[in-house]
Structure 1
Amino acid sequence: MYNESNIHETHRRGRIEVICGSMFSGKTEELLRRLRRAQFARQTVEIFKPAIDTRYSNEEVVSHDKNSILSTPVEHSGNILLLSSDVEVVGIDEAQFFDKGLTDVCQQLADQGIRVIVAGLDMDFKRVPFGPMPDLCAIADDVTKVHAICVRCGALANYSHRIVAGEKQVMLGEMQEYQPLCRICYNQELRS
């Protein structure tokens, strides 16, 4: 688990921190918390998000609780390298929407001594590992898995159940399109 006593270590060495979980689990909230702490510590911070994520804002990372921080939308993971000069901390939200090159980008940044904090869905609505997230979890120095609360029974929820029609893997959505479910409730939904 992420340990804030490592904060001094990040000045000397790069690292990759991954925050993953289902929708509505607080991934972006945790990302914002860590980035704000880095800013408070007077570290130079740059935040990126995929350009396709325009749900709440074109230029801000916004949590479902409406907390936000200014970010740079990018089309391709390679752009992050170009825009990350002279920073100490890089934040990346909605990492599952990036291309597979994001893993190499994060590795390069960390190798340059930059603290990289990545947040994203670990699985899609079919419980399939999503985009570069499995690879990022594998190379991370630290992985934090956060959980939502199942809207059916109140247990910890691991899964993002899509409640609207559509088979496309990428479909931006909120509570009208998705709901967090635990394993038991997710399986019951599949059988119904």
Structure 2
Amino acid sequence: MEQQQPIDLDRESDVEQHNTQSVGDKRTTNFWHKYVDIRDPKTNKIVKAQCKFCSRVLKVATKNGTSSMAKHLITCPNNPENIDKKQKKIRIFKTSQSDATMVSNWEFNQNSIRQALAKMIVIDEEPFSYVESDGFRYFCSVTVPQFCLPSRFTVARDIGKLFLSEMENLKNTFKGVTSRIALTTDCWTSIQNLN
């Protein structure tokens, strides 16, 4: 085994970082998997732990308990568990019928925005590559910066899923109808020779 020099425990660069539990560690709480172990290479004991969310280093030891780790996880700004999923945002908008201002709750939802984007592409008959245009990307970055814009291939898949879902809704609607249904189409060509 390789001999290592004594280290200064206040300098984190000299301390090894480990994610695995070694023999003799008595860690029974769930807090440890949210931290990276920092061990003393000479004794191989845990001396510090680094938060995986915000990279803050805490002085800890397995024999002293995990209260400092628990307190940090409660206040860590990057911990996904601290985000209040029930908290709504306020949305203010004007109604189209009048000049009245309406206030309602709004919650960011990536999937519902992607579904609305797929419906917009279909209704406006835009190409799938529309989502990759610079103007549309800029517009989305200003209006909803949290929204991760999908690629044209993802939009095509979303539109396929939307088609299947609407087809299923139409089938369910027709199942409850006892009368006959006639479907007609009207195909024509404009003066500009557009179908």
Report TM bin, short chain. Answer: under 0.3
Q: Which has the higher contact order (CA 8 A, sep 6+)?
A: 1
- In terms of fraction of residues, the more helix-rich structure is 2
- In terms of fraction of residues, the more strand-rich structure is 1
The two structures have a TM-score, normalised by structure 1, of 0.21
